[in-house]
A and B are shown apart, each in its own frame.
Chain A
Amino acid sequence: GNSVTQMEGPVTLSEEAFLTINCTYTATGYPSLFWYVQYPGEGLQLLLKATKADDKGSNKGFEATYRKETTSFHLEKGSVQVSDSAVYFCALSDRAAGNQFYFGTGTSLTVIP
């Protein structure tokens, strides 16, 4: 079946530190992969996505590369800011399973000045 496993949190970093949040997946078909971000008190917003192997998604300084060989989609940012404090969700969507999304448990990130 389909599932997503992501790094447990919470994660606390100093401003300008390097961020990695690990995400691995299992899928029966050819999924698209996503990172969603949830700021305090808000809904989920799409941060970036990749629809096929070796694609790199990027947005707001965040990047993630779809690695089929390691079934991974790790989120990285070179220099985090206080405004990046949020909960990050890795997700997959497999068209063979309709439009259903499978989410990881979320990783809470706090960036301190």
Chain B
Amino acid sequence: EAQVTQNPRYLITVTGKKLTVTCSQNMNHEYMSWYRQDPGLGLRQIYYSMNVEVTDKGDVPEGYKVSRKEKRNFPLILESPSPNQTSLYFCASSLLGQNEAFFGQGTRLTVV
């Protein structure tokens, strides 16, 4: 089954403790991206990657890192999480040149 898988689904952590949210897709998509969803703001793009070893900032990249060492994986790294990063995070993938994006189930992160 074609899918985008994120882990974990729920995470509560403390300020400053490094964490990684994983994202994996099995559709051989070149393009992968991370979004955060906040009430009243919709989804905002954090980072994206157009292929292996090619990443770039989205609209709200501060406080986040990503890597793309393999085509299928695109982890989101928070080196020193802060409470303002409490949010619902979505990973998405698509074929380059094809507009339709496939989304993961989401990761609800709470930073206390």
Q: Do A and B bind each other?
A: yes
Contact (Cβ within 8 A) B99 A93:
yes
Q: Which of these, A49, A95, A105, contacts B42 with CB under 8 Å? A: A105
Interface bracket on A: 20 to 34
Nearest opposing residue in chain B for A36, CB measure = B103
Q: Which 9 A-B pairs have the closest CB atoms?
A: A105-B42, A32-B99, A103-B43, A44-B103, A93-B99, A43-B103, A99-B31, A103-B42, A43-B105
Please determine whether B100 and A101 come into contact, CB atoms closer than 8 angstroms. Answer: no
**Contact of A89 with B43 at beta-carbon distance under 8 Å, contacts A44-B90, A99-B96 already known:** yes
Q: How many residues of B contact A (CB 8 A)?
A: 28
B104, A43: Cβ atoms under 8 Å?
Answer: yes
Give the nearest-CB partner of B45 in chain A: A100
Determine if B66 is an interface residue (Cβ-Cβ < 8 Å): no
Contacts of B90 in A (CB 8 A): 43-44
Chain A CB within 8 A of B24 CB: no
A-contact bits for B61-76, CB 8 A (1 contact / 0 none): 0000000000000000
Closest to B48 in A: A100
- Answer yes or no: B12 CB below 8 A from chain A CBs: no
B99 in contact with A34 (CB, 8 Å): yes
**Chain A: which residue is nearest B29 at the CB level?**
A99
| Residue interface bits B11-34, CB-to-A below 8 A is 1, else 0 | 000000000000000000001010
| A89 to B40 CA separation, bound complex (whole angstroms) | 12
Query: Are the CB atoms of B58 and A100 closer together than 8 Å?
Result: yes
The smallest C-beta distance from A54 to any residue of chain B, in angstroms, reads 17
Inside 8 A of B96's CB, which chain A residues have their CB? 99
Q: Is the CB of B94 within 8 A of A99?
A: yes
Least CB distance from B33 to A in Å reads 7
Neighbouring B residues of A49 by C-beta, 8 Å: 99-100
Residues of B within 8 Å of A51, CB to CB, are 99
Q: Are B92 and A101 in contact (CB under 8 A)?
A: yes
Is the Cβ of B105 less than 8 Å from the Cβ of A42? yes
Kindly provide the distance from the CB of B47 to the nearest chain A CB, expressed in whole angstroms: 11
